[in-house]
Amino acid sequence: MKRYAWLVSLLALSLLAGCGGQTRNPSPDKAAVTVVMPPTSEPEAGFDPAFGWGAGEHVHEPLLQSTLTVTNPDLTIGYDLATDMRVSEDSLAWTVTIREGVKFTDGTDLTAADVAFTYNAARDASSVNDFTMLDRAEAVDDTTVVFHMTRPFSIWPYTMATLGIVPEDSYDPAAYGSSPVGSGRYRLRQWDRGQQAILEANPDYYGEKPQMERVNILFMEEDAAFLAVQAGQADLAYTSAPYADQTVNGFSLLSVKTVDNRGINLPVTGNDFLSDAEVRRAIDAGIDREEMVDHVLNGYGSPAYSVCDGLPWFTWEARLPYDPVEASDWLDSAGWHLEKEYQEKIPAGQLYPLDCGWRYKDGVRAEMELLYPVGDTVRQALAMDAANQLGRLGIYCTVRGVGWDTAYDEALTTPLVWGWGAHTPMELYNIYHTDRETGSARYSPYANPTVDAYMDEALACTDLEEAYRLWQTAQYDGFTGVTRSGDCPWVWLVNVDHLYWVRDGLQVAQQKIHPHGHGWSVVNNVDQWEWNS
């Protein structure tokens, strides 16, 4: 037996080598692509729009279903199923006409009744999306649906861009998630929970035929994804900055701009040090975001100045430069002074050296704690870098990791490193608008009636363009707002670029600015991807 041992091992070796060689070749199938996503991207409740598929914190196009509207590459609104939409004078009724001749994958026609059914079901079931503004949806005829609202909601088209339409006749909440029937570009062929989902082109799709006929989605942790790329088992895989300096034969790095921001909340009440607006402004002015991008993201990111950088409702008023001298002035004016011995060392108006000592006010040291969610190394590094930078200002900042079980509560008094970035202005509302019940904004104590009024007005507006302008004014109107010139209840740090390993020869179509979440966004337009011949 021993004599054959070498033969066996040789055989095994050649087999291994053979496999390795084979998988390294680009997929022979020119109409298929394999994409790796993080396990968190796998929809827990299945592919059911009523239970959050496509919507929620990590918004993306549902692919398997079609939506009434879509967001264009510049994040304005375009049409998918809808052909026209009108809002009533009092902003309380939206009338949408839908296109004819659309079929679900089970062969039935998609009518206004299905649309109304979907919206009413989502209103009743959805825990992920907010549908409290919808009173009821009503199908007037086969192609016209009317949404009756409980309150004015000018950005309803953005909500319509996330909710996929399901068939009224065959919809069963218990089964739909794993065997979805839609009218989207793709249909679900197979789903192995915890491993993969396989999509194939929908032959009955009303729009342009997808160029990629088969999309394999694999769910893997980041290091496994990298190994899969190295082994040539994927065509596109998500990755992050720590891996970006690696090189993989046959793959290149794709970096996509995002509004996937990281920022810290500065509680306006409940935290003695931060309750002073001048201190908050000093922190905003004293954070060198470019340095942070280099340090923490290896350059794969951009400075963030608001929660919505680059979106139609972004205001340039938010974009104020890094200015350590201004920061120092704010702190001095708030009464936080450097110790005497250091004051003399620093030439007037100059950036002081690293060991400038700490600032004091009435014998109390300028101190704050910064929290980050445990296990998120990027946010941990951002917190550390922010603490270092605040140290340069003379603020003693400590960093502590917290679990999400307590993070929301602790953030009400202590700054936390958050991640936001959605394709709807509603995010501004969620972060800055006063909650009726608590009298303060939801995630971090803050209340400004003027800001609230602008946002309420923006929601009541019948014209989207005008609404954009009001959303911008809400952030800063020249007197007050949420920017550094205003109350500055949040400081935005960076937008994290989404990085992907892409196999050479795969043409990934132009990406619209990615929202928070590093998963499905990239395949929003997978139907337009193609392989170089």
Please report, as ranges, the residues that interact with other proteins according to CB under 8 A.
222-223, 226-227, 242-243, 246, 294-296, 374-375, 377, 380-381, 384-385, 387-388, 399-401
Nearer to other proteins (CB atom), residue 279 or residue 368: 368
Nearer to other proteins (CB atom), residue 376 or residue 456: 376
Nearer to other proteins (CB atom), residue 146 or residue 387: 387
Nearer to other proteins (CB atom), residue 299 or residue 335: 299
Q: How far is the CB of 382 from other proteins (least distance, A)?
A: 10
Q: How far is the CB of 220 from other proteins (least distance, A)?
A: 12
Q: How far is the CB of 226 from other proteins (least distance, A)?
A: 5
Nearer to other proteins (CB atom), residue 1 or residue 354: 354
Phi, then psi, of 261 in degrees rounded to 5 = -95, 165
Nearer to other proteins (CB atom), residue 388 or residue 434: 388
Q: How far is the CB of 369 from other proteins (least distance, A)?
A: 11
Nearest residue to 67 via CA among 81, 51, 57, 77: 81
Q: How far is the CB of 291 from other proteins (least distance, A)?
A: 8
Q: How far is the CB of 405 from other proteins (least distance, A)?
A: 11
| 138 C-beta neighbours (distance < 10 Å), count | 18
8 Å CB contact between 431 and 441: yes
Q: Residue 67, class by beta-carbon neighbours within 10 Å (0-12 exposed, 13-18 middle, 19+ buried)?
A: buried
What residues contact residue 252 under an 8 Å CB cut-off, 6+ apart?
Answer: 501, 502, 504
Q: How far is the CB of 399 from other proteins (least distance, A)?
A: 6
What residues contact residue 2 under an 8 Å CB cut-off, 6+ apart?
Answer: none
Q: Output the CA angle 494-499-502, nearest 5 degrees.
A: 165
Nearer to other proteins (CB atom), residue 270 or residue 375: 375
Nearer to other proteins (CB atom), residue 290 or residue 456: 290
User: Cα–Cα distance between 66 and 437 in angstroms, integer?
Assistant: 36
Q: How far is the CB of 397 from other proteins (least distance, A)?
A: 12
Nearer to other proteins (CB atom), residue 98 or residue 382: 382
Q: How far is the CB of 368 from other proteins (least distance, A)?
A: 15
Nearer to other proteins (CB atom), residue 380 or residue 440: 380
User: Cα–Cα distance between 222 and 30 in angstroms, integer?
Assistant: 26
Handedness of CA 245, 250, 255, 261 (dihedral sign): negative
Q: How far is the CB of 245 from other proteins (least distance, A)?
A: 8
Phi, then psi, of 460 in degrees rounded to 5 = -85, -15
Token output for 274: 């931060």
Handedness of CA 478, 479, 485, 490 (dihedral sign): negative
Q: Residue 62, class by beta-carbon neighbours within 10 Å (0-12 exposed, 13-18 middle, 19+ buried)?
A: buried
Nearest residue to 325 via CA among 283, 291, 358, 285: 285
What residues contact residue 257 under an 8 Å CB cut-off, 6+ apart?
Answer: 302, 310, 495, 497, 511, 513, 514
| 306 C-beta neighbours (distance < 10 Å), count | 26
